Structures are given as C-alpha cells and as structure tokens.
Amino acid sequence: MDVTSRYDIAAQCAANTEDGAAARDCLLVVIGSSGYDLDLIHAGKRLSEALDAAWMVVDVQTSRFRFMPDRDRARRLEILRIAASLGAEAVTLHGGSAAGAIADYARLRQVTKILVGSPTQLGWLALSQYARLAALKRLCPGIEVIAIAPRFASAHSPGPAQPTPRRRRIEHFRRRARQYFSAIAVTALCTLIAFPLSGRVDLINIVMIYTLGAAIAGLLLGRGPSALTAVINILAFDYFFVPPIFSLEVLDPNYLVTFTAMLLVALIIANLMITVRERTESAAAREHYTAALYAITRDLAIARDVEAMVTTAVRHIGEVMQAYALVLMCDEDGRIIAPQIPAGGGARPAVDTSVAQWVAAKRLRAGMGTRQFPAEKATYLPLLGSHATIGVLVVERADATEAMLPEQQRLLEAMTDQLALALERARLAELAHAAHLAAERATMRNTLLASISHDLRTPLSAIAGAGSIVAQNDFALDIHRRVTLGRLIEDKARDMSDLLTNVLELVRLESGTDVLNRDWHSVSDLVGLAIARHESRLAGWEVSTDVPGDLPLLSVDSNLMVQMLSNLLENAIKYTPPGTRIHISAQRYEGVIRLVVEDTGPGLGIDVPERLFEKFTRGRLEGDIGGVGLGLAICRAVSRLHGGEIRATASPMGGARFEIAMPHEEEPSLIEPPSSVA
Amino acid sequence: MTVGMHLALVVEDDRGVQKVLRMMLEANGFRVVIADSCARGERDARSQRPDVSIVDLGLPDLDGIELIKSIRTWSPMPIIVLSARTAEAQRLGAFEAGADDYVLKPFSAPELLARVRASLRRHVRGEEPTGVLEFSDLAIDLSRRVVQLRGGGEVRLTPLEHRILETLARNRDRVVTHSQLMKEVWGPNRADTRSLRVFITTLRKKLERDPTRPKRIVTEPGVGYRLVVDSHGEDAGDIRSSD
C-alpha cells in the first residue's frame, strides 16, 4: 500500500516526476471515503501546485449517499465547494460502485494520479475500505493511486451537531418500517399463492415463485427489505414445503444447496434491480434539474434589465426549490441596498441584513445548510461578479425543516451563477451606456464651448475695435461716425446678452430640474412681449400680426414662451434682409392653438428642416451672421415641455415658416365682478 | 429744468456702470451722488435727500431689496431698480419691497432715462384718482367710464374694466402687480389671474391701436401691468382734473 503518513508526499511526487515524461500530470482527489476529506483536499492542492498539474476533486455518490444523515451530506457538499474555491474542478459522480465510477472517470480525463484517504477504521469497515482501495488499483492500471493518512488524529472534528428534526426522523423511521413490512408481505403472498399448489407441482416451481417474489421485492423495496425477503422466503419455503412440512427441520441435505442457491439468486437479482432503479431515478432527477436550469438560463437571456432578471430568477428559484427567494443588490461599495421586492408579492424570507452584508463582503455562503450562521432560517448565497459582489440571493425553503437535497443544492448554485452572470452582463451594459452618454456629453460640451467662444469673441472684437476708435483723440470723428460706432457697440453687446440668455436658458431646460412656472396667459400678450423685446431692431422689417382676441388663454410658462417667440423673431431678423415682411399669427384648431411665425425671406436653406432644431445646427454656414444654433433647440425644448410641437416648413409667403402647436385645455369660467359695482 | 436740478442717488458697486450712469444723468441735467454699498446708500439718502434713487440689487454688503425697504420706511421718493436679475420672483420681490420700476441690465440709456423721468413726474404730480386721461388719439374719462376717440365716437367701459383702468391710472407709469390689481378690483381672496388676463385683453381692444403690440397697458412679464402715458408731449397723457 502506498500509505504515506506525511504531506511531504507532494514534494516526493514532484521529485519523482521531475525526470519523467513531459506529459502534464492530472490529479484526481477522491473524497467521501474517509473522515478527513479537508486534509485530502489540501494535500491535493499542494501536490497539484508542486506538479503544476490540473486537479479535480470527485465525490462519488453511491446509493449510500441517499441514506446519510443530512449533516454528513451537507458537509460533503461544503467540502466540494471549498475544493472549487481552491482551484480544483469539483465533480460529483454517480454510480453503483465507487471504484468503478472513479476508474471510468479517471480514464476519461486521463488522470495520472489518484489521491484517496487511507483506511483508518478497524474491523469490517476497514476491510471494505481496503477492498475498495484494492479494487481501485486493479481498475486503474497505469495510474498511481496514493492513499493518504490524516495529519492529526483529530485534525477534522465534525462541526457542531445539527439536531435532526424529530419529525423528520419519525418520518424516516415510518418509511423504513413500511418497507420491511412490505418485505414480509411479499413472502406471505408467495406462500399464499404457492400453498394450494403444494403436492400438485414440483417443489422446483415453488422455488421459482419465491424467487419471483424476491425479484419483485428488489424492484420495489430497498436493499435491506429485499435481503429480508430473500431470507424469510427460504424460511417459509422450508417451513411450508420442505418435508417434514410445518417444521424447519430439513431431512434431505440436498435442500441446503437449494436454499443457498435461492438466497444468492434472490440477493443478486435484488441488487441488480435496485442499481438499475437508482440509476434511472438519478437520471430523471438530473434531467429535471437540467430542464429547470435551461429554463432559467433562457429567461434570464431574454430579460433586459436588472429588475426583470431578478424577478425571473426569484420566480424560477421559488418554483424549483419550493422556496421564497429574494435578491438584495449591492451598491458600488459593496453595501446592501434596500431589498428588491419580487413582482409577485406574497411571502418573503425574513432577511437578516447583517448576514447578507457579511455574505456580500466575504463572498461566501451563509445561513441554513452552511457553516456560517447555520441557525438562520434562510440560505444566503453571494452573486459573484468578476470584480465585486453584485448582490446576495436569499432563499428560504417553504418547509424550513427539510434540508436541501444535494442535487437541489447544486441546482441552486448553478442558478445563482446564472443570475450572477446575467446581472453582471446587465451591469456592464449599463456602464457601457453611461460611458457612451458621457462621451456624447463631452462632445456636446466641446462643441458648445467652441461655438460660444467664437460667437462671443466676434462681437467682442467689434466692441473693442469701435471703443478704441471712439476713445482715440486723433481720429477727430464727426458726430455721425461717433453715433454709428456707439450703435455698433450697443448692438453687439445686446447680441452677446441674447446669446448668454439662450445658453443659460438651454442649460436650465436640459437640467430638467426646473418645472414650468405655469400660469394663464393670453396669446396676444405673449406675442406682444416677444415683439417688444426686438422693438428697436424690428424697425427695418415689416411686422404684421393676426391674433384673434377670442383665443382661449394658455396655461404656460410665459418667460419660456416669450423666449421661444423671440428666438423665432430674432432668426427672422438675422436671416432675412431688412424690408422683409414678418407675419405672426395664431389660430385655434381642435385642442391646439397654432402659432405661426413666417416671412417672405429667402427660406430655410436646408434640406431636412427637422435638423434645424438640433443643437448647433444652422441653416446656412455662418458668415457674418452670429449665433450658435441654440435658438431653435430652445424653441423645441420649450414647446415639448408644454406638450406641444414645433415644425419648420416653407411658407406660402415665400420664406420660412415656423409653426408651433400648443395644446390648450378648456377655459374655466371666469369670476364675475362683485355685484356692488357702482 | 435748470432751476433746482434734480438730485439722483446711484447705489451701484461697479465702477463702469457708475461712470455710465453719472455721464448719462449729468448730461441730462441731474446732479449725481454715487454710493457703492447699501450702508453708504442709506447714509447718503438720509443726508442728501435725493429726488430719485437708482439701486442695484447685488451690492457688496446687503441685498439692494433691504435698502429699498429701509428707504420706504421714511421716504416716498421714486426708486428704480437696475439689476441683472431676470427671474420673475426677484422682480416681483423688488416691486413688493416698494420699488417704482425695474430696469434690466444690460440697459439702454434712453430707456432708463425715460423711466427715471416718468417716475419723477408721477411723484411730483401725486395721485389723482379721477379725471380724464388724454392720449394723442384718445381720451379716457374715468368719471364717466367712457373712452373718447379723437376721430369722434365713444367706447363704453364695463364696470370691471373701469375699475382695472382706474387702478392702473392711479399708479400710471408705474407697475401694478397682479395681486395688487386683483385685490383692488375683485377684493381680497378672489385672486384669479385668468380673469385678469381676459379683462386686460378686452381693455386693450378698446384702448390700443394694435392690441398685440400694446403701447398703453404694457405687460411687465411675471409682475403686473403698467399704464404708460404718452411720452411725446409734456402735456399729453397728463390728467386734468375733471372739475
């Protein structure tokens, strides 16, 4: 036996293989066969590091696994998880024979070394362990099988015993009792069928009936009950059929051979039946879980945002696990944010936020069925992203006393991984979107700065130039020239002021924090205020208005509305030659008031008028015409804020036409004057 | 105008604006005192007894609003605010503190001067609630509630229109805030800007040549209305006592 009592084996192995084949080693650690699996895993890790080998940890779940206490099952799952966290590939194998399953898997993965626990116990169990080890070595020719003894006798003390719930124990006991009772019933039934035939058929046919009964027991019952059937079948056969009848005495020694053969055949058949049945069951269970996993993966792929993903995952996990689930998201600093309520409402697990916070920080599972906070009713699983913990999944079984089956545990982990992946994907998409927006904003800002600095500098240079001429004594300006320069300075300063107003207005509108300062205003008043703003500059243009006095009042922000109309007027002044006619009109249509500003000028000068309303877009390339292309962007923002729309078209008058449709509500009744009017 | 030149107090901290205002006012026959803070403004107002004050709101020591409130406790002199603050609430606040007018920076010198003169005229005249308002093309007889057109013909005013016009006329050339107007016309607690807008519109139809470009009942956006008397002739727009 390759029993080494030290972990130095790793170094030794490394030395042995130093001059060996260049082929990469592959290490397989088998757990579940000893009481010190954790030590085995650590040995495996050291060895794999020394050999620079890939390593995997397998847990063979034979039929015995089903009947293990919950505590042991949970421990083995935990060990597998630890192995995975240490970098091993954690695998669970199913099979009737541990040695066979391991050997098959080892060949499949081209394993070079197998690490197993060395037999520690004395007596029967030690014998079976030695037998298993021998079988493994026999089945794996060419693979080094290393048995490792524990480091310390008490290196691994079992964790605090979890009291198996009483109800569960009773349940288990009842089931077993029922099975054993059925085993006896099978024998009784065989005897009842066979007894009337006694004397009419050969005894060998009676034996057949009992063998059939043993096979049926194997098909329906567990190992123990089947064995019981096999034994009492023989007793019944002996008692009822073998002469002397109704006595256990056997006169003919030939029958002893029959009994032995009967027992062996019954046991073998039962064993085969049970093996087949278990395989079928575990395959069915795996298929069920695969289907569940597929379903959640598919739904998560469809889900667009974090909320939808969480809702989907919570629903699936709830269905498959018969549990209440909840997702707690983490913020950038890893702190738990307020719980996401599942859309369906209903029962929710009682969450201990401090436990969730612990889970998020340590990136470890906690709660029921784990080592940390095992007293918690719910299980807390971290949703691990590539950089940080995305959140914590909290699952509470509907029946809190029922421990999770290992398959369910694995499924839950797989679902958790899927959810974490999906959330990570969503988060990355969000980040990418934010980055895109930021880049766009930066471009916008640069354009804005460039345009503004150009459009402020141009009038500034005119002002500075004109000012310096006026200030210069030598120039001996006549009064006419001085007035011209003064006007120029005033006009340019006013342009700059208007530009500034527009920029500030746009910033305010786009910040979105400012709500409209609505009040009732008459259209004619708004139009009048807009015209008044440009009164002096409009002198050279022919302005006409057509605003009926009976138009309903509009509930609008007068400042913004006047700014909008004033921008349209300013455009007309800027882009049409003096003497052009500018017509402002308002009409009432169904549900809207249509405000129109049109002119007889040269038109829009752009193919797609819609583009005019975008920021920094201008009808003609700026030559001497100042402006940054913000005026119409403001017009659109204002009209949209009021629920209206603005369009640019060609005017039937020949020039440009801007049409604003403003929705209006039914006018409320007016307050009558008090009756005491003199 | 040469006899007893008006004294104007300018409370403004920017030297450039100080210079412009001084030139503008002195060129138009005013004597000028300049203060660059609220404290100095208050002191100069008490010691020099100016006829009119032009007050900036953003002053280094206190808000100009405080100065206006303080002056109003002891003097009815015209106060004109000259400020870059455009928000309606701020304009309204200035009027409620007792300002007579509000001129936005950047300002045009002729406009500011016109406002200063108008406020002085009103102050000298005092308030006369009844009489005939005469304009170049029409006259409003407040006592008879009739608008007399120059070309002949009359337009009658409804009682409510009359009351609005009367309120504006009492404060002619001066902004009457919405709330003030509504309180005087409808009584307290019956405020409804919608009604006010409608009646102003009908009133304009009777008084203005082009109601969309009003010259007499001028909207002070977000604050109120102002009745503007004709500024072309010195006599036009003056109120003659009806008796």
Closest CA to B9 of B33, B31, B30: B33
Q: Output the average pLDDT for chain B.
A: 83
How does A175-212 read in b/e, with b if 16+ C-beta sit within 10 Å? eeeebbebbeebbeebbeebeeeeeeeebeebbebbbe
C-beta separation of A560 from B221 below 8 A: no
Fill in the DSSP letter of residue A407: H
Any bridge partners for residue A30, and if so which? A58
Half-sphere exposure of A388 (CA within 13 A, CB side): 14
Which stretches of B82-238 are DSSP H helices? 88-97, 109-125, 159-170, 178-186, 193-207
CA distance B143 to B129: 9
Give the dihedral of Cα atoms B19, B24, B27, B29; nearest 10 deg: -110
CA distance A396 to A384: 20
Tell me if the bond preceding A165 is cis, omega within 30° of 0.
Answer: no
| Whole-number Cα distances in Å, A546 to A213, A528, A663, B194 | 106, 11, 19, 22
CB atoms within 10 A of CB A290: 12
How does B107-146 read in b/e, with b if 16+ C-beta sit within 10 Å? bebeebbebbbbbbbbbeeeeeeebbbbbeebebbbeebe
Chain B contact for A82 (CB, 8 A cutoff): no
Among A166-170, A458-462, B60-64, B183-187, the range scoring the smallest mean pLDDT is: A166-170
CA distance A289 to A403: 17
* pLDDT beyond 80 at B48: yes
Closest CA to A573 of A616, A533, A615, A617: A533
C-beta separation of A378 from A349 below 8 A: yes
Sorted by sequence, the CB contacts under 8 Å of residue A94 that are 6+ apart come out as A60, A61, A62, A101, A279, A282
Looking at residue A291, its pLDDT comes to: 85
With an 8 Å Cβ cutoff, are A677 and B108 in contact? Answer: no
With an 8 Å Cβ cutoff, are B193 and A524 in contact? Answer: no
CA distance B46 to A671: 46
Looking at residue B55, its pLDDT comes to: 95
What crossing angle do the helices spanning B109-125 and B15-27 adopt, rounded to 10°?
60
Q: How close, in Å, is residue A601 to chain B by CA atoms?
A: 23
CA distance B106 to A285: 82
User: What tokens does B228 get?
Assistant: 């503007």
- pLDDT-above-70 percentage for chain B: 88
CA distance A187 to A205: 15
Tell me if the bond preceding A674 is cis, omega within 30° of 0.
Answer: no
* pLDDT beyond 60 at B29: yes
C-beta separation of A623 from A603 below 8 A: no
φ and ψ at residue A655, rounded to 5 degrees: -105, -140
Per-residue confidence band for B78, with pLDDT thresholds at 50, 70 and 90? very high
Looking at residue A125, its pLDDT comes to: 57
With an 8 Å Cβ cutoff, are B159 and A677 in contact? Answer: yes
List residues of chain B with CB under 8 Å from any CB of chain A: 86, 88, 106, 108, 158-160, 163, 185-187, 190, 192-195, 197-198, 200-202, 204-205, 210-214, 218-219, 221-222
Q: Which among A494, A521, A677 is the nearest to B106, CB-wise? A: A494
CA distance A44 to A83: 9
Mean pLDDT by 10 residues, chain A (678 residues): 42 44 72 73 83 83 66 76 79 75 81 78 61 80 79 41 61 87 91 87 87 86 87 89 83 86 88 85 82 86 84 84 83 74 56 83 82 80 85 81 73 88 87 87 78 80 90 82 89 85 80 74 90 85 88 87 90 88 91 91 79 70 58 86 89 90 71 44
Torsion-angle region of residue A116: left (phi > 0), alpha (psi -120 to 50) or beta?
Answer: beta
Chain B contact for A582 (CB, 8 A cutoff): no
φ and ψ at residue A244, rounded to 5 degrees: -80, 135
Nearest CA in chain A to B189: A671
CA distance A647 to A656: 11
User: What tokens does B50 get?
Assistant: 């100016």
Per-residue confidence band for B37, with pLDDT thresholds at 50, 70 and 90? very high
Looking at residue A61, its pLDDT comes to: 74
Torsion-angle region of residue B187: left (phi > 0), alpha (psi -120 to 50) or beta?
Answer: left
| Whole-number Cα distances in Å, B158 to A669, A676, B215 | 18, 13, 21
Fill in the DSSP letter of residue A198: B
Per-residue confidence band for B20, with pLDDT thresholds at 50, 70 and 90? very high
Helices (H) and strands (E) in chain A — how many of each?
16, 17
Looking at residue A627, its pLDDT comes to: 60
CA distance A445 to A451: 10
Q: How close, in Å, is residue B88 to chain A by CA atoms?
A: 8
Per-residue confidence band for B118, with pLDDT thresholds at 50, 70 and 90? confident
CA distance A195 to A190: 8
Looking at residue B70, its pLDDT comes to: 93
CA distance A193 to A210: 10
CA distance A140 to A418: 36
Chain A residues within 8 A of B86 when measuring between CB atoms: 501
Q: Which among A497, A558, A670 is the nearest to B222, CB-wise? A: A558
Which single residue is written with the structure tokens 């847990």? Answer: A59
C-beta separation of B102 from B223 below 8 A: yes
Q: Give Cα A139 distance to the centre of its chain.
A: 44
pTM for the whole thing? 0.53
Looking at residue A196, its pLDDT comes to: 87
Q: Is the dihedral of CA A469, A475, A480, A482 positive or negative?
A: positive
Fill in the DSSP letter of residue A336: B
- Which element (helix H / strand E) includes B23? helix B15-27
C-beta separation of A329 from A390 below 8 A: yes
CB atoms within 10 A of CB A518: 13
Provide the 3-class DSSP secondary structure of residue A508: helix
| Whole-number Cα distances in Å, A257 to A178, A244, A254, A264, B59 | 32, 17, 6, 11, 122
With an 8 Å Cβ cutoff, are B197 and A522 in contact? Answer: yes
φ and ψ at residue B155, rounded to 5 degrees: -120, 130
The interface predicted TM-score of the complex, written ipTM, equals 0.79
Give the dihedral of Cα atoms B172, B174, B180, B185; nearest 10 deg: 20
Pairing of strands A581-588, A645-650: unpaired
Q: How close, in Å, is residue B176 to chain A by CA atoms?
A: 16
Chain A residues within 8 A of B210 when measuring between CB atoms: 545
Closest CA to A30 of A72, A59, A1: A59
With an 8 Å Cβ cutoff, are A520 and B108 in contact? Answer: no
- Which element (helix H / strand E) includes A91? strand A89-94
* pLDDT beyond 60 at B3: no
CA distance A457 to A622: 14
For chain B, give the number of residues: 243
Chain A residues within 8 A of B205 when measuring between CB atoms: 549
